[in-house]
Structure 1
């Protein structure tokens, strides 16, 4: 798999280094480079890259603002931040950044981050492509919980709830949910749509855990969850199969 990339940095030397690193990496293709996030907007729309190498501190529109803007799109490119300031790391998680390269970084560090991006995009591609009998679909995901990556089986997930900058993953047979620094959108991309559905801006539910429904809500055990207006049509289509 080859990832189409765009590099964005207002420092000419830094931009030149990133471009050189991209060009010497076999699974990366440099579509364009920009010294301004504002200039990059049109290029992103034209080239539809898989991955951005994005500086944070830039005039007019900074990298974090650009990432938040793109994150609202249905098929936003993945982001690897490149910056001289380590205090942006937490904000990087909030926009689902793949990685965070602290300047000055070497090619080994760059390659490791690029490899993470390739693996992530490849996983998403596998999930969105019909699988043959020769390819097994994963039945789990990994969530970062504090300093660990925890394996969560799809079959154990009851529902997922958004809580500011975190998600609470409620599991069958567990009294306390798993708390992970992520967004509901990021998890929605990783979960198979045949098993899960987003029914509210703050909730994703496991479809086979639903015990009853009304026109405006659903019940999972003793938990009642409202169906958001923008999700009612999709949920109605799902329920029509059984009515």
Structure 2
């Protein structure tokens, strides 16, 4: 598989280095180089690409602003993956929020560049599976669900999470925490909503019991009228979900 890509940086030396790294990488094909985000935007609106290597600090239009414009236009989230290149690590969280695939901190070497590019290759291998009709590929972000597991966007990678490993999921505004049996002390943090997961997870295995919680039904150790117990964690059941929860309890009786 070959991925089309562009490089965007207002510093000539940095732009030249990224372009050299791209041309050195067998699965990347450089189709454009831009010294400003405004020029890159004009090009992308006509010819979308797979991967954008994008500097953040640029005059007129920053890399973060370009990412937001592409997302609003429908050409960022559905056609291109962004790998930010910047000298400032304080932008890491902002890059995560605009759904960047990775974040390279300058100065970076070819090994670091190749690792980030490998994430892009893995991403497109997942979304361009043979059974998908040509032109109808859909991104696996932030969540892609199959029969036995889901792919969850965690930081700058897709993590495979088996249904059987999930204990419960906690919603935190725009994020969720997925608690797993394999590592209960380290939940996976993903930039998605509890509602999105509720709609995608199979109802026979998972139930929403509170505006902030989804539980794995086969992981429930005990129930009361107002709560469920999973291990040492007590999860409340809110009034909004009591009817469906009562139907579930009736199976226990």
Asked whether the two chains share a fold, i.e. TM above 0.5, the reply is: yes
- Which residue number corresponds to residue 176 of structure 2? 167
Q: List gaps (5 residues or longer) in structure 1.
A: 131-136, 186-197, 213-219, 226-243
Q: How does 1:4-19 map to 2 (within 5 A)?
A: 4-19=4-19
CA RMSD of aligned residues (A): 3.9
**Aligned counterpart in structure 2 of residue 121 of structure 1, from 115, 118, 124:** 124
Pairing 1:204–2:194 present:
no
Q: How does 1:21-40 map to 2 (within 5 A)?
A: 21-40=21-40
8 Å contact from structure 1 (residues 93, 182) kept in 2: no
> What do residues 19-41 of structure 1 show as CA deviations (whole Å, max 9, x unaligned)?
11111211001111111111111
Q: List gaps (5 residues or longer) in structure 2.
A: 134-145, 208-214, 218-236, 242-253
Distance change >3 Å, CA 170–CA 93, structure 1 → 2: same
Distance change >3 Å, CA 211–CA 78, structure 1 → 2: closer
8 Å contact from structure 1 (residues 166, 179) kept in 2: no
Q: Secondary structure at the match of 2:129?
A: helix
CA positional deviation for 1:182: 2.8
CA positional deviation for 1:211: 10
CA positional deviation for 1:138: 7.9
Computing the radius of gyration from Cα coordinates, the structure with the larger value is 2
- Which residue number corresponds to residue 104 of structure 1? 107
Distance change >3 Å, CA 127–CA 57, structure 1 → 2: farther
> What do residues 68-104 of structure 1 show as CA deviations (whole Å, max 9, x unaligned)?
2323425141111100111111222222222111111
- Which residue number corresponds to residue 136 of structure 2? none
Q: Secondary structure at the match of 1:40?
A: helix
Distance 1:157 1:21 in 2: 39
Q: How many residues align?
A: 196
8 Å contact from structure 2 (residues 23, 29) kept in 1: yes
CA positional deviation for 1:204: 3.5
8 Å contact from structure 1 (residues 19, 30) kept in 2: yes
Q: How does 1:68-147 map to 2 (within 5 A)?
A: 68-72=68-72, 73=74, 75-126=78-129, 129=132, 139-141=148-150, 143=152
- Which residue number corresponds to residue 231 of structure 1? none
- Which residue number corresponds to residue 57 of structure 1? 57
8 Å contact from structure 1 (residues 19, 33) kept in 2: yes
Q: Secondary structure at the match of 2:82?
A: strand
8 Å contact from structure 2 (residues 150, 160) kept in 1: yes
TM-score, normalised by the number of residues in structure 1: 0.64
> What do residues 213-235 of structure 1 show as CA deviations (whole Å, max 9, x unaligned)?
xxxxxxx997758xxxxxxxxxx
8 Å contact from structure 1 (residues 93, 181) kept in 2: no
Distance change >3 Å, CA 26–CA 38, structure 1 → 2: same
CA positional deviation for 1:165: 4.3
Q: Secondary structure at the match of 1:26?
A: coil
Q: Secondary structure at the match of 2:199?
A: strand
Q: Secondary structure at the match of 2:190?
A: coil
8 Å contact from structure 1 (residues 92, 100) kept in 2: yes
